[in-house]
Amino acid sequence: MDIFQDLQKLIKLTGDRAKLDAKANGTYIVYKTESGRIVKEFANGDIQTITNPGSPSNE
């Protein structure tokens, strides 16, 4: 494997681990989609778009 493929694999594994931790702790993960939106993904599969990142109302 080259460095780029190794990095992609590590990023995927990190995201998978974050999902497992969120499920175990009843929380969510936050990430940026390919289309540029920032979203919260809950353990039950629900996804909520964050419309104003940094705003206290999104916490």
pLDDT digits (tens, 9 = 90+) for 26-47: 999 999 999 999 999 998 989 9
**Residue 19: how many other CB atoms lie within 10 Å:** 14
- Record the tokens describing residue 6, joined without a space: 């190794």
User: E strands, the chain, where?
Assistant: 28-32, 38-42, 47-50
Is the pLDDT higher at 57 or at 3? 3
Q: What's the mean per-residue pLDDT of the chain?
A: 90
Q: Give the three-class secondary structure for 27.
A: coil
Q: What is the pTM of this model?
A: 0.71
Decide: residue 5, CB within 10 A, 0-12 exposed, 13-18 middle, 19+ buried. exposed
Strand partners, 30: 40
Residue pair 28/41 in contact (Cβ under 8 Å)? The answer is yes
Q: Answer yes or no: is pLDDT of 55 > 90.
A: no
The pLDDT-based confidence of 59 (bands split at 50, 70, 90) is low
